[in-house]
Structure 1
Amino acid sequence: MDVRRLELLRELAERGSITAVATATNRTSSAVSQQLKVLEREAGIPLTERRGRGVVLTGAGRMLAQTATDVAVALQRADALWEDFKQAPSGDVSLTIFPTGGQMLLPGLLAAIEDVPGLTLMCSDQDPLLPDFADLTPDFDIVVADAPAILPSWRERGLAVLPLMTEPLDVALPEGHPLSEKKTLSPKDLVDESWIGVPVGFPFDRILRQVETVNGTPARVLQRFVDNGIVESVVAAGHGIAILPRYTTRDHENGLVTRPLTGVRAIRQISALMRPDRAERPSVRLVAEALRAEAQRFVAEHKTESPQT
């Protein structure tokens, strides 16, 4: 079987439609369909079937798509070994990250790799409303995502997952709030409070759901915002309290104080997600390891810092 046609089958498995594959590979939809038909003849068994106006993979198609991933990993590993033999890692690496992750990690990462000969790191940030950052892995070498933990769906996709750091999530209060007298806060302390929330399903919102479960009563959420800066400003103005990430919340600088939340699992796990074949490229490996080192350095620098009193 032709490796290039196997790669098209893999793209169909990940992107979900002939049109999306055609766009990603700079082909026409008819050219993609024709190549998949040739692959099907080579395989001697149906690999796709009609569903509605599109096509989906059969069981055999899904199995062969996984084989295509294994082939791509093997080829990238062979290329990586050869590149390691020939020269230091070089080339372009694309990385995308959620806003507060970029705020924490990109300055140090860019400084760490700026003197690597022949290596170009192209960074972008992404809308945090994206349901699953793993959906970006076909289009970027490294995708930095936050979640309560490593998600099973990332493993099911066969992604390489590199844990970077664990960040505590704290309760943000306006300065002078009665609860600021406490060193830590439990869900019971928060029963009668008004909240400034984030969109439903976000990591911070899931912490608030835990608080509701412990208290047995729904939280009173007055407003919901995507941008943490807006949340900080609204809380500082006295309109409610919020769950915010410890390392990027500017307490005291803008009228906020933060306190650790006890009694629930108040953290977010930050990880780098990669297609397994791309994770074998020397340049991607170098950037991923520099990213992990920067995350470890950042945490070490801040771990002795607790929310200000």
Structure 2
Amino acid sequence: MDIRRLQLLRELADRGSITAVATATHRTASAVSQQLKVLEAEVGVPLTERHGRGIVLTGAGLALADTARRIAVAIESAEALWLEFTQSPQGSVSVSAFPTAGQMLLPGVLRAIASEPGLEVVITDHDMPLPDFAQLTPDYDIVIADSQGIPAHWRENGLRVVPLMTEPFDVALPAGHPLVEKSVVRLTDLVDEPWIGAPTGYPYDRVLERLGAAVGREPRIVQRVMDNLIVERLVAAGIGIAILPRFTTRSHGNGIVTRPITGLPAERQISALMRADRAERPSVRRVLELLQAEATRVVEGYRTVGER
């Protein structure tokens, strides 16, 4: 079996369509189809089957695609081992981050990379309404994702998942709100408040769902906004209160004050997702190390400020 054809099968498993594979591998759709037919003839069993207007992998196709992933990991591991003997990490590493993770982690990483000749990081930002960050891994070397816990399908799909940090959520209040006088806010304090919510399915929205379940009635959401900076302004204007991430919410001099919530699990896990083969590259491993170091610095820096 030709390794290049196996990798096309793996791409089909990850991307879901011939057209997407063709675009990603700079081929025509007919060329991809032809190569998969050749592979199917080589193995002697059907690897794909029709499903509606497209195709899906058969059981044999899925098994062979998983084999292709393991082969890719072995190749990258061998190349990484050789590069460690011959040179420092080099090349371009693409990183996708959701906005608040980008604010926390990317400036420090890019500053550190500037002192490492031959290593480049190319960043972009994506925010996903559901835990579908895994869908970005075919196109980026490292995807920074947030979630409540680690979704099982991330690891089931053969991804390398590296936890970076846990970030608590706080309640954001207008500076003159009566609850500002409390050091910790209880669920019963929040029952009758108007809320600036997040789009349905976002982590902050799921916290409000748990709040509603705990107090026995749904929170009164007056607006739903995705951008945290807009949420901060609406809170400062007294339109409502909100759930916001602790490390990136500006609570000094902008009209809002944040307080921790007691009696409710309110936090998110921030992780780095990678295809397992790409995770073997020295350049990717080096950028991951810098992301881990920056995440540690952010968490420890917040603790130090809190102790003053």
TM-score computed with the length of structure 1 as normaliser: 0.97
Other structure's SS at 2:230 match: helix
299-308 or 223-232, which deviates more: 299-308
Q: Could you tell me how far 1:252 is from its partner in structure 2?
A: 3.0
Equivalent position amino acid for 1:10 in 2: R
Equivalent position amino acid for 1:9 in 2: L
1:263-291 C-alpha deviation (Å, 9 max, x unpaired): 11110110010000000000000000111
Cα distance in 1 for partners of 2:129, 2:198 equals 10
What is residue 142 of structure 2 aligned with on the other side? 142
Q: Spell out the pairing of 1:285-300 with structure 2 (5 A cutoff).
A: 285-300=285-300
Equivalent position amino acid for 1:58 in 2: T
What is residue 273 of structure 1 aligned with on the other side? 273
What is residue 23 of structure 2 aligned with on the other side? 23
Q: Could you tell me how far 1:156 is from its partner in structure 2?
A: 1.1
Contact 1:259–1:307 under 8 Å retained in 2 = no
Cα distance in 1 for partners of 2:307, 2:190 equals 17
Equivalent position amino acid for 1:249 in 2: T
Cα distance in 2 for partners of 1:74, 1:12 equals 20
Residues 121 and 281 of structure 1: is their aligned pair in 2 closer, same or farther, counting only changes over 3 Å?
Answer: same
Contact 1:258–1:307 under 8 Å retained in 2 = no
Q: CA RMSD in A?
A: 1.3
Contact 1:169–1:267 under 8 Å retained in 2 = yes
Gaps of at least 5 residues in structure 1 are none
Cα distance in 1 for partners of 2:224, 2:183 equals 26
What is residue 263 of structure 1 aligned with on the other side? 263
Q: Could you tell me how far 1:115 is from its partner in structure 2?
A: 1.2
Contact 1:203–1:268 under 8 Å retained in 2 = yes
What is residue 125 of structure 1 aligned with on the other side? 125
276-285 or 128-137, which deviates more: 128-137
Equivalent position amino acid for 1:165 in 2: M
Q: Could you tell me how far 1:260 is from its partner in structure 2?
A: 0.1
Residues 130 and 212 of structure 1: is their aligned pair in 2 closer, same or farther, counting only changes over 3 Å?
Answer: closer
1:183-208 C-alpha deviation (Å, 9 max, x unpaired): 11121111111100110110111111
What is residue 170 of structure 2 aligned with on the other side? 170
Residues 189 and 267 of structure 1: is their aligned pair in 2 closer, same or farther, counting only changes over 3 Å?
Answer: same
What is residue 240 of structure 2 aligned with on the other side? 240
Residues 307 and 215 of structure 1: is their aligned pair in 2 closer, same or farther, counting only changes over 3 Å?
Answer: farther
Q: Could you tell me how far 1:111 is from its partner in structure 2?
A: 1.2
Equivalent position amino acid for 2:126 in 1: Q
Q: Could you tell me how far 1:131 is from its partner in structure 2?
A: 5.2
Residues 259 and 306 of structure 1: is their aligned pair in 2 closer, same or farther, counting only changes over 3 Å?
Answer: farther
Other structure's SS at 1:303 match: helix
Contact 1:246–1:307 under 8 Å retained in 2 = no
Contact 1:128–1:226 under 8 Å retained in 2 = no
Q: Spell out the pairing of 1:16-95 with structure 2 (5 A cutoff).
A: 16-95=16-95
Contact 1:171–1:241 under 8 Å retained in 2 = yes
Contact 1:147–1:270 under 8 Å retained in 2 = yes
Identity, in percent, stands at 64
Q: Could you tell me how far 1:96 is from its partner in structure 2?
A: 0.9
1:103-143 C-alpha deviation (Å, 9 max, x unpaired): 11111111112111211111111134465111100000000
Cα distance in 1 for partners of 2:253, 2:210 equals 29
Equivalent position amino acid for 1:189 in 2: D
Cα distance in 1 for partners of 2:131, 2:146 equals 11
Q: Spell out the pairing of 1:154-193 with structure 2 (5 A cutoff).
A: 154-193=154-193
TM-score computed with the length of structure 2 as normaliser: 0.98
Q: How many residues align?
A: 308
Other structure's SS at 2:268 match: strand
Other structure's SS at 1:239 match: coil
Cα distance in 2 for partners of 1:130, 1:63 equals 27
Contact 1:260–1:307 under 8 Å retained in 2 = no
Contact 2:171–2:261 under 8 Å retained in 1 = yes
